[in-house]
Amino acid sequence: MTCILDAKGSDRLTASVYVVGNFKGGVGKTKTVTMLSYISAVRKNRKTLVIDLDPQANATSVLAKTGDIQEVKTSITNGVISGDLEPEIIHVIKNLDLIASNVQFRNFGKILMKLFPDNEVAQISYLSKLIEPLKSKYDAIYLDVPPTISDFSDNAMMAANHCIVILQTHELSMDGTKTYINYMQYLIDTYNTSLDIIGILPCMLQPRARVDKKVMNNAKELYGDNVLTTIVGYQERLKAYDAEGIAMGHMYNGAPDHWDKIAHDLYEDVLNELDEHEKLLGVNTSE
């Protein structure tokens, strides 16, 4: 989070904006966005916003179920056309809000061309402009994006302060990670934007498998301490959240449901580690 002065001259914080990505699909980007945002809101008590930039709207679906929202009536498409995202904000649960996506958002590129026909910088910076007024209302904003080099990813990277890269431990995901980081560096160099990797999150389906270990070791050799020590493995409960929404169940005696607690504890560990990386980046930047 960034410290600024409000109208009364006192310090307040504006949201850190996180883009979660990889240029390969199915590696766990949306799962990471929804779980980190939930933990941010529920366990960290942070005012948190998820902006769904994927026309498939999977993050929208999970969070709507989480908040028992029967019908999503607003969308980022409306906000992009009108130039104001605030009316599109949906309250999910305490401390957690959503700007939903829908299939109409597939026309994002066409909308940008219509708004800024001869201005590439304005096109790729539009989301950053729209998010700016929301930063003072939140502690954290998470962006979920499709796994493509496109107007979606360009706008997300230009709007974000920090990048969380998802690495599923197989060769194609590693290739997607390399491409993603190289493309991020291209945008930084070309448009002089400020974006840091605060963590590469390993997702290992078979942590004892030879290929998984090989990819993990290669990632550590290439990216060093950027690779988180916390590893997300397969959990049936995480899969259930896609269908039922994220929740913390309780046993008959009032104790937290064992499998929910394991899933939530795991992503709290991820968020704690990302927080530490973000603090270190802040220290290094201020030196």
Rounded to whole angstroms, what are the CA distances from 189 to 12, 183, 186? Answer: 30, 10, 5
Instruction: Provide the CATH number for the domain around residue 212.
Output: 3.40.50.300
Cα–Cα nearest to 33, from 134, 138, 141, 144: 144
Question: Is residue 3 in some structural domain?
Answer: no
- Residue 92's contacts (CB-CB under 8 Å, 6 or more residues apart) are 63, 64, 66, 67, 69, 98
Rounded CA gap, 72 and 61, in Å?
Answer: 9
Question: Is residue 58 in some structural domain?
Answer: yes
Q: Side chain identity at 136, as an amino acid letter? A: S
Question: Is residue 4 in some structural domain?
Answer: no
- Residue 8's contacts (CB-CB under 8 Å, 6 or more residues apart) are none
Residue 24, SS3?
A: coil
Question: Is residue 49 in some structural domain?
Answer: yes
Q: What is the pLDDT along the chain (287 residues), one digit of tens a residue?
A: 554 333 333 334 689 999 999 888 888 999 999 999 999 999 999 999 999 999 999 999 999 999 999 999 999 999 999 999 999 999 999 999 999 999 999 999 999 999 999 999 999 999 999 999 999 999 999 999 999 999 999 999 999 999 999 998 777 778 888 999 999 999 999 998 889 999 999 987 666 677 778 888 888 999 999 999 999 988 899 999 999 999 998 888 888 899 999 999 999 999 999 999 999 988 655 44
Structure tokens at 57: 């709207």
- Total domain count, the chain: 1
Question: Is residue 2 in some structural domain?
Answer: no
- 22 contacts 180 by C-beta, under 8 angstroms: yes
Which domain, by its residues, includes 143? 14-286
Q: pTM of the entire structure?
A: 0.92
Question: Is residue 246 in some structural domain?
Answer: yes
Question: Is residue 1 in some structural domain?
Answer: no
- 90 contacts 99 by C-beta, under 8 angstroms: yes
Cα–Cα nearest to 181, from 121, 223, 140, 142: 223
Burial pattern 65-98, b for ≥16 Cβ within 10 A else e, equals: bbbebeebebbbbbbbeeeebeebbbebbebbbb
Question: Is residue 76 in some structural domain?
Answer: yes
